[in-house]
Chain A
Amino acid sequence: MIEQLPALQVVLPLFSALLCLLIRNKTASRLFAVAVSWGCLAIALILLQTVQESGIISYHLGGWFPPLGIEYRIDLLNAYVLIIVAMISAVVLPFGFGHWGLSIPEGREYLFYCAFLLCISGLLGITITGDVFNVFVFLEITSLSSYALIAMGRSRRALRAAFTYLVMGTVGGTFILIGIGMMYLETGTLNMVDIANRLPLAYGSRTVLVAFAFLTVGVGIKLAVFPLHHWLPNAYCYAPAAVSAFLAATATKVSYYVLVRVIFTLFGAAYIFETLRFHVLLIPLSLLAMFVGSAVAIYQTNIKRLLAYSSIAQIGYMTLGLSFASINGLTGGLVHLFNHALMKGGLFLVAASVMHSIASNEIDDMRGLGRKMPFTMAAFVLGGLSLIGVPGTVGFISKWYLIVAALEKGWYPIAVLILLSSFLAVIYVWRAVEIFFFREPDAETVIKEAPLSMLIPTWILIGGTLFFGLQTGWTAGVASSVADSLLGGLP
């Protein structure tokens, strides 16, 4: 049983998705989905423990030996990302249990949970597999199910947002496929370890160069790297409430994981950063993302759109950490995966609770909510402080590693820019906080605090931002040993 866990991690949600179709009853399908997501989390935890105790797990799907068969290969990095995906889905799925609000179209609940589980299995599959073509397959499962999830949004604009995402996502997926094909052309294998071993022989070839270009642009679209982020704000804004929280906290994280794998495992950091000097491109783009994302967030009138633009800025922090190509930088980027998943997931759940209570996500309609929904809004303030990077929250930890990385490289202006951009976060967070706490609410409407089934998941994530802001042994510990092993030869 235990040795079959890597397969179960993906197969469990995949087949449960199909079972969801048979259940059809909305409450039963939901209960089932929650149970499955908790099962996934349990499997992910066991996998992490196994990896930490006995090193890399190599699982041969169907008993076929790699490189012919598909290999699931779990090292500390995969296990870490699996935990993020499984944890967020286990918290988001039970959110608002017992309440059927405005977010899911009536009568189609079981379809919603089917798509949700498919999306989970896709994300887990991308993370767990050691086969590049398999990555592409799971990427498509994720994308198709997330188009469906986004399109279920209440507003008709959700359809358009989903369509834009569909077009952009398909372009991205195709690019990735072309990149994979070219790598196959050069190396004759699809297994990641094999590719990593054989690519150095072909470093001079133009095909490898083009393959890398296609892969990074393709992944860049999925990751919403500036300036390929166009699809993200609308998709997050119009998707059903819980979907925004789930996608914001997991989808971009998994794309980041793919980028890290491509750069550090497949091509090798030395080739990418020393020969190609990829950071010359990535650092300015990351900085632009940090500033443009935050600056645009300041002017948003919709809370989910504000959070979406803030995500673009936060993705900038992650790619910046990666492009330092140093232990501290990569640790900062990787730890921010987990940290950002916690805070952005929590903040989107706040937006979802507000949606449930006042049926709007316009910041202006949220006047005075601080008094009506004190616990929900307090969660927003704490999540916002974490976005700013106040010490005691997870945001501070990520920022600390990034600044240390910038200073040890002697890139002082970048350190200053990181700090300045966090001041932009102060502005967009506090502009909303002022409206929530100091504007007079409409007198006649009766607004109640969100139900416990919403408060508890929200506070699990927000509480996590505080807990892991002080106890970083696990998050930063895992991230730095991953960074250590990924960088191998490089300093």
Chain B
Amino acid sequence: MTPDQLIALSILSPAIGALAIAVIGRNDDGGHTPRDIMTIVATLFTFGFVVQLVGPVMAGDRPELSLFEILPGLAIAFKVEPLGMLFALVASGLWIPTSIYSFGYMRGHHEHHQTRFFVCFAIAIFAALGIAFARNLLTLFLFYELLTFSTYPLVTHAGSEKAVKAGRSYLGILVFTSVSFLLLAIVWTWQTTGTLEFRPGGIVDGHLEGTPVFLLLALFVFGTGKAALMPFHRWLPAAMVAPTPVSALLHAVAVVKAGVFTILKVIVYVFGIDFLTDGNYALWLCYAAGFTLISASLVALTKDNLKARLAYSTISQLSYIVLGAALATKTSVLGGGMHIVMHAMGKITLFFCAGAIMVASHKTEISDMKGIGRQMPFTMFAFFIASLSIIGLPPLGGAWSKWYLVLGALEAGQLVMVGVLVVSSLLNIAYLLPIVVNAFFYPAAEVQIGDGIKEAPIACVASLLVTASGCLILFLYPGFFLDLAQMIGEF
């Protein structure tokens, strides 16, 4: 197959999968095996096609696919470059364990409307891949909005008053920021530069300078509400009302990473890192990201609900990537790119664990989970591994991305940011490790949880063990992703 066919196939697979799931799936509630098989087939096909693109990209090829022009000079077009390849691999790769996990979770939890759930999930992956491979800002924006609207039914899945309210702030913040700021930034870019194509070295250089650059950057960064930079972060904790597989793949990986991916891509291919460092345009963004990084960690400390704590942790971790972009050095961007992968692997495991606990013991509050390690040793062990990866300790994957981020901060001469990264790691320890410690070492006499092992369904446990070992493997063999991330900027 030629690379341009591969692009089409990898983007279309989840879309066709969604259709097939809708046709096959029964409308009533409960599990349905043929539908689940269809889902797995779709995930495997998608990942299979995406993986085949890796070879050409590593070899320096940049496969392209241009569909049609929406407006004169503005086409729906795709082009695979290293950063997009990275994001596409993460989103489509983690879709497989998430689907398997979902089968166990949705059945174990007796969720209703399961067909709608899997259909919307597949559409969301379709949108994420469209974002990953977008060749210009317009294509990216089209899929960005599709991702917002396709995940809305997932967030409001429960249909309860609380879910509808959460859906309101989800849609409200994401649509408000994207329509008011991001779209304005895109039209403005088009207006001044006459193009929306991503190009190495950026397209803004030579067209704008001084205050307008600050303004344009701010519009882009705050317009990308999915990156959850404060003060537009509230939608993410709200979205935690969704079933846990959604929180795991979409609100720790696909949706939020689509946000930081957009920021990285805009900084590298629209502004260009040299242009930003020459004019010192992104310094304020370092501080904005640093602020979100620290304060979200502090908020996470105060949360007793496990998913809420993880959500604030995600907000904080996303700002690592924004910081990597804002430092605008080759190394920091590399660190940001790596953190997309590393954080995805760690955070998805943590959410899988949270969901497993919910299914097996119906507990959502951290204070109720004392001693739960006796009941769910595998789950809590995976939780421990993933926590270490998020904190950034070797021998786990998270160590690499933090290493490069710190190096990047030093390279840029931003010692304050080095300090921020160190403090944040300490905060990570403070809000993640006590959960593990209490789960395993709480005095047996005071534990209210029964003895004996009572884990979540095997589909759940298997997936979370796979992703936890992924954290370890990523430490031992980061080479592939490093090579890919090193090429960011070569369009």
Q: Which residues from A are CB-within-8-Å of B171?
A: 426, 430
Stretch at the interface among A118-126, A163-171, A471-479: A471-479
Considering the complex, give the chain A residue whose CB is closest to the CB of B146. A392
| Chain A stretch 399-433: residues in CB contact (< 8 A) with chain B | 400, 403-404, 407-408, 415-416, 419-420, 422-423, 426, 430
27 pairs of residues in contact across A and B, judged by CB atoms under 8 Å: A385-B149, A388-B179, A392-B142, A392-B145, A392-B146, A397-B70, A397-B71, A400-B71, A404-B190, A404-B191, A407-B188, A408-B191, A416-B180, A416-B184, A419-B184, A423-B176, A423-B179, A426-B171, A426-B172, A426-B176, A426-B179, A434-B168, A438-B164, A470-B76, A472-B70, A476-B71, A476-B72
A residues touching B (Cβ–Cβ < 8 Å)?
385, 388-392, 397, 400, 403-404, 407-408, 415-416, 419-420, 422-423, 426, 430, 434, 438, 469-473, 476
| Chain B stretch 116-156: residues in CB contact (< 8 A) with chain A | 138, 141-142, 145-146, 149, 156
Given A391-B142, A426-B176, 17 extra CB contacts under 8 A: A388-B175, A392-B145, A397-B71, A400-B71, A403-B187, A404-B187, A404-B191, A407-B188, A407-B191, A416-B184, A419-B179, A419-B183, A419-B184, A422-B179, A430-B171, A434-B168, A471-B68
Give the total number of A-B pairs whose CB atoms are below 8 A apart.
Answer: 64
Determine the distance from Cα of A469 to Cα of B74 in the docked complex, in whole angstroms.
13
B residues touching A (Cβ–Cβ < 8 Å)?
68-72, 76, 138, 141-142, 145-146, 149, 156, 159, 164, 167-168, 171-172, 175-176, 179-180, 183-184, 187-188, 190-191
A470 touches B184 (CB 8 A): no
B187 touches A415 (CB 8 A): yes
Q: Which residues from A are CB-within-8-Å of B156?
A: 438
Q: Which residues from A are CB-within-8-Å of B145?
A: 390-392
Determine the distance from Cα of A389 to Cα of B183 in the docked complex, in whole angstroms.
11
Closest beta carbon of chain A to B15's beta carbon, Å:
13
Q: Which residues from B are CB-within-8-Å of A385?
A: 149
Determine the distance from Cα of A211 to Cα of B149 in the docked complex, in whole angstroms.
49
Considering the complex, give the chain B residue whose CB is closest to the CB of A431. B168
Closest beta carbon of chain B to A372's beta carbon, Å:
13
Determine the distance from Cα of A408 to Cα of B179 in the docked complex, in whole angstroms.
19
A391 touches B138 (CB 8 A): yes
Determine the distance from Cα of A430 to Cα of B172 in the docked complex, in whole angstroms.
10
Considering the complex, give the chain B residue whose CB is closest to the CB of A406. B187
Considering the complex, give the chain B residue whose CB is closest to the CB of A473. B69
Determine the distance from Cα of A473 to Cα of B171 in the docked complex, in whole angstroms.
31
Considering the complex, give the chain B residue whose CB is closest to the CB of A402. B187
Q: Which residues from B are CB-within-8-Å of A389?
A: 179
Q: Which residues from B are CB-within-8-Å of A473?
A: 69
Q: Which residues from A are CB-within-8-Å of B142?
A: 391-392
Determine the distance from Cα of A423 to Cα of B70 in the docked complex, in whole angstroms.
23
Determine the distance from Cα of A397 to Cα of B156 in the docked complex, in whole angstroms.
29
Closest beta carbon of chain A to B145's beta carbon, Å:
5
Determine the distance from Cα of A193 to Cα of B31 in the docked complex, in whole angstroms.
71
Q: Which residues from B are CB-within-8-Å of A390?
A: 145, 149
Determine the distance from Cα of A435 to Cα of B216 in the docked complex, in whole angstroms.
38
Determine the distance from Cα of A416 to Cα of B183 in the docked complex, in whole angstroms.
10
A426 touches B175 (CB 8 A): yes
B184 touches A415 (CB 8 A): yes
Q: Which has the most chain B C-beta neighbours within 10 Å: A385, A420, A438?
A: A438
Q: Which residues from A are CB-within-8-Å of B191?
A: 404, 407-408
Considering the complex, give the chain B residue whose CB is closest to the CB of A389. B179
Q: Which residues from A are CB-within-8-Å of B159?
A: 438
Closest beta carbon of chain A to B26's beta carbon, Å:
15
Determine the distance from Cα of A388 to Cα of B76 in the docked complex, in whole angstroms.
21
Determine the distance from Cα of A369 to Cα of B149 in the docked complex, in whole angstroms.
20
Considering the complex, give the chain A residue whose CB is closest to the CB of B190. A404
B71 touches A472 (CB 8 A): yes
- With contacts A390-B149, A415-B187, A419-B184 taken as known, whether A430 is within 8 angstroms of B71 at the C-beta atoms is no
